[in-house]
Structures are given as structure tokens and as C-alpha cells.
Amino acid sequence: MNLLDRHIFKGVLATAMAAVALFAFVLAAGNVIRDLLGPLLSGQLPILSFARLVLLLIPFVISYALPLGMLTGVLLTLGRLSSDSEVTAMRAAGLSLPRIARPALLLAFLGVLLALRVNFESMPWARVQYHRELAVAIRANPLSYLRPKTFIREFPGYVVYVGSMGSGSKDGTDVKDFWLWQIDGERRVVRFVRAESGHVEYDEATNEFIVTLANARVDEHDRKALDDFTQPLRVNTFGQVDPVHLSLSKYFGSQSVHQKLQWMTYSELLAERDRVAGETVAPGGERQHARNVMKVSLTIQDKINMALAVFSFAFVGVPLGIKVSRRETSANLGVAVLLALTYYFLIVVVGWLDQHPEYRPDLLLWAPNLIFLSIGAWLLVRLDRAS
């Protein structure tokens, strides 16, 4: 690698690393705000556990930030070189555009190898550890979720308010002035319970609170006419009502099969594919069996294509960076985000076909990368001939 190659290579590398860090921070911040910030501020997560969980998010966000960062690095570096007429000087020295782009494409190839490692090894391990450690931190003090004088929305299908709590223990505590709103999928209240007192126990086996209420008033709406306010409420007063189960599945799992597949390493995915393919198929279950096999194949191909996107993005970014010839970071970031959104939209469209294995969505997943590589090759050849 000569001096010119090192100059381009270092420029793309430095810019790409900064861009990857930026996109990783943005993606990680969204996850932190959604899942960790609330438990941290309410005292449910110790600061050390919070810091470790944030670190475990890095491999997950890196798998998405790498393609974006590489594209941004290529656009910014080659755009700057073109704007400063350095590309023109290289062309005058007899270098073709593919030769000028070689260091950037070499870096992109190395990025593909890194992305494969992250997608198939680092990210699955980190995701499993993340959810495991989050569950351990929550189990250490589950009753901290019941915060007095606070509207609590962590429980699916319920909003809870507790006036006061006894000291209690890890397994249970007494509560006073307990309010509970049961809501439907459209966030409409179908049942309201207010009790003078009650007792809350935590069931570690099912990861849920079991709330036994005493001296309770229950208001129920007609579930067939929730928006009809002319219908009278059914109001009842009970000495004790049936226990209410408040699930913490938001933090402990109940993940879908596709999500669990995403957390598997390459060897685990191959073993899972063989296991699913070797299952005995009941009469009439052939279609569902084919879908199950396809889900595993889609996960493998998706991880491979996400890694290949690092090279595809860089390849299409080379002619775009040279042709646009601008220094503005914000403009190049905008181009990078727009191209990435187009790519991810195509990936999502193909993913919708996971229930139709006859269309071979595992092969169609290669289409976005092939499209980007074709566009990049066409632009590069056209620009090389024009100049």
C-alpha cells in the first residue's frame, strides 16, 4: 500500500469510526431511554448494573451502525478529496476511479468481516447477557416497581396507583389505597378497582405480582359499548376480590420465535435449522413446517446480508462522494441516512414474506445488496468514463 492509499485509507477509517460512534450512540440512547432510564431513576437498577447493561447494548447497535458509518465515512472523505481537487490530481496522474477507491473498498471488506463476527457471535451473546442481567437486577428488588403515589404503567393491560406501602420483604408487602385501571388494546378503561388495603406478593416462577385486595369497589364498563357513555356502570363493593396478576413480562421475556432466533450464534442457528427440518410433520402441517424452517434460514441470511451491506453501502458511496464533491457533513449524513432507509425498507418488505416460503424470501434478501452493488458499479463506470 503506497502513500496515497494510506492517505485515503486513514481518512476513510477515521471518519467511519467517528460516524459509527455517532450512530451507535443515537441507537443506544433510544434503547436506554426506553428500557433502562426509568428503572435507574426509580432506584430499581443500581448504577453499576445500569453501566454494564449499557455496555452490553454496544454490540447490538454496532451491527446496525457499521453499514451507516462506513457509508458516511466514504461519502465525507471522498467528497472532501473531490472538493479539494485531489481526485482530479489523481486522475491527471493516470489513476482510474476504481484504483482511487481501492483503499476505501479494502476497508469496507474488512468491515464486512467485522460485521459477520458481530452479527453471529458478539451481538447474540450480548443480547442474551443483557436480558439475563436485567432480569437478575429486577429480581433482586422486584417490589421497587410498586412506587407509592406514582402512576405505574409497566404492567401490560393495567395502570396502577398505590397510596402507601408497608416495609415488607422481597416476597411481599402490604399496600393501602390501591387503584387499578384495566385497559384494552385501544387504551380504553374496561374495569376500575379501588381498594382500601391489600397484599402484594411476587411470584418468581411466573415473574408477576399477585395482588389480593380487601374492601374494594369495582366499576366495570360494558366491553361491547365502551364509548357509549349513556350505559350505566356496574358498580360492586366486595370484602375481597379475586387476586390480580400483574406481569413483568416486559422485562423477563415472552419473546417471539424470530427474536429468539436473532439471539442465536451461527452454530446455534445451524443446529436449530437441522432440528426444525428434522421434525416429524403431521398431516396437514407441511406448510407450517416449511414456515418454521424458512424463519431460521431468513435469520441466517439476514445476518449475512446485514454484514454485506457494509461493502454495498461503501461501493455505492464511492461514486456518490466523488460526484457530489461537497464538504458539508450534514448534507452527506442526510444522503447516508436516506440510502440506509431505502435499504432497510427493502429488507422489511422481503421480511413480510416469511409466511410464504414458496416465494423464497431467504434468496430475495440478497436483492437489496445486489441492487446497491449494481447501482454503485453503474455509477462508478459512468463517472470514470465521463471524466
9 and 131 co-located in one domain: yes
Q: Could you give the percent of the chain with pLDDT greater than 90?
A: 25
Q: Tell me, what DSSP letter sits at residue 66?
A: H
Q: What's residue 256's pLDDT? A: 42
- Residue 40 inside a domain? The answer is yes
Mean pLDDT, the chain, whole residue set: 83
Query: Residues 81, 189: one domain?
Result: no
Does 265 fall in a domain? no
Domain identity same for 131 and 204:
no
Rounded average pLDDT over 287-311: 91
Cell numbers at 156, concatenated: 401490560
Residue 253 lies in a domain: no
Assess contact for 272 and 260: CB atoms under 8 A.
no
Pick from 88, 74, 60, 55: which is nearest to 262 by CA?
60
Q: Is residue 252 part of a domain?
A: no
Compute how many other C-beta atoms are within 10 angstroms of the C-beta atom of residue 274.
Answer: 11
- Look up cell 411476587; give the residue: 202
pLDDT for 233: 54
Is 254 within a domain?
A: no
Q: Would you say residue 264 lies in a domain?
A: no
Residues 106 and 163 in one domain: no
pLDDT at 142: 73
State residue 359's pLDDT score.
84
Per-residue pLDDT, averaged over 136-155, amounts to: 77
Question: What pLDDT, in 10s, does the model give residues 167-221?
Answer: 655 557 888 899 988 888 777 888 888 888 888 888 877 778 888 888 888 887 6
Does one domain contain both 192 and 131?
A: no
Within a domain: 263: no
**Could you report the per-residue pLDDT of 18-29, keeping only the tens digit for each?**
999 999 999 999
Band (pLDDT 50/70/90 cuts) for residue 113 is very high
C-alpha span between 356 and 339 (Å, rounded): 27
If one counts the domains in the chain, the total is: 2
Q: What is the pLDDT of residue 327?
A: 54
* Domain encompassing residue 310: 3-139+284-386
337 Cβ contact list (under 8 Å, min separation 6): 68
130 and 213 co-located in one domain: no
CA distances from 381 to 73, 90, 273 (A): 21, 17, 41
For 182-186, 313-317, 323-327, 357-361, which range has the lowest pLDDT when averaged over its residues?
A: 323-327
Residue 250 has pLDDT above 70, yes or no: no
pLDDT in tens, 48-102: 889 999 999 999 999 989 998 999 899 889 888 888 888 888 888 888 888 888 9
Residues 113 and 207 placed together within one structural domain of the fold: no
Looking at the fold, whether 120 and 242 belong to one and the same domain comes out as no
φ and ψ of 26, to 5 deg: -65, -45
Question: pTM for the complete prediction?
Answer: 0.75
- Say if 197 falls within a structural domain: yes
Looking at residue 159, which CATH number applies to its domain?
A: 2.60.450.10
